[in-house]
Amino acid sequence: GVMERLGLGPEVLLQENPRLIYARLTGFGQTGKYAKSAGHDINYLAVSGVLSKLGRKDENPYAPVNLLADFAGGGVMCALGIVTALFERARSGRGQVIDASMVEGVAYLSSFLWKSQNLGLWSQPRGENLLDSGAPFYETYRTSDGKFMAVGAIEPKFYSQLIKGLGLNLDELPAQMSFSDWPEMKKKFASIFAQKTQAEWCSIFDSTDACVTPVLSFDDAASHQHHKERNSFIKNDQGEISPRPAPVLSRTPAVPSCKRDPFIGEHTEEVLLEYGFTKQEIAKLHSDEVIEFKNLKANL
C-alpha cells in the first residue's frame, strides 16, 4: 500500500502508460492472510514448505542464510517475471502488474521436491534421503587440516571412482543403495577423509569423475585455478573481490565495473539532472527528505 499512498499505484501509472510493466516484490504476495505481515527469508521459506526439507537428521530445520527465498525465490523469480512480461508485451503492446511473492517463488523453485515425492527420493525423514545428507556419497567430510571435501558421487560410475580414490574395494562393500548401511558407510568415509589434507584429496580426485571437490572459502574460491582461468571473480579499485556477472553471453557479455560501489545518494543529483529535473526541484526533493545526497567534497 505504500505506492498507493503516494498516488503511484499500478492502476494510476498504467493509465499514464499502458505499456508499463509494474513489478511488486513482497514476501507473502499482494493478497492473502499474511499479505500485510512482516517477515524475512526464513519465514517465507517456512511457509513455502521448503524449510521442512532442509536440515540434518535429528536436528532442527535450518535456513541456508537468506539465499533461497530472498534472492532466488524473490529477486531472480521477479526478474524472470519482468523478462516474461517484456516478451509478452512485444506481442500485445500492453504492460501488466507482476505479483512476485517470495513464498510462491521459492515454492515454485522447489517444484522438483514436490514432483519427485513419489519417486522414493524423499520417502525418509529429513536428513535421511539421497540428497539431504542421508547418503554417504552425497555429503561433506572433514579433512585432517580442518577443511572439507564435498562428495556428490550419485551415479554408479562416479561412485566407483569415489571408492577407488578412497582406497577401498567396491566388492567388499555393501551395495551403494543399501539404505540400512548408509550410517556405517558415512562413518567409514569420514574416518578415511580425516586422514589426509584437503590438498592431498584434491591431488587424488581432481583428475577424476568421482564428483569430489574441495569446499572452498571465499578467499580460496577467488584464487582457485579453475576460476582464474575463467576470470570468474573480479577485483574493484578498492581491492574488493566479487563474482563476475553471470551467465556469460557470447555476443553481449556484461562489462563489470571495477569501481567501488557507490555511496547512497552519491549520484542522485546528476541522475535527476540527466532526466530533466531542475536544481530547484532537486533541492525541494532533498529538503522534503524524498531523496538523499552524499557530499564527497570537504565543507571548508
Give residue for cell 499474511: 34
Helices (H) and strands (E) counted in the chain, each on its own, are 13, 7
Positions marked catalytic: 40, 70
Contact 36/117 with Cβ under 8 angstroms? no
Q: Among 210, 221, 127, which Cα is nearest to 166's?
A: 210
Contact 59/53 with Cβ under 8 angstroms? no
C-alpha to C-alpha distance for 226 and 72, rounded to whole angstroms: 25
C-alpha to C-alpha distance for 151 and 141, rounded to whole angstroms: 8
Residue 230 burial (CB count, 10 A): 11
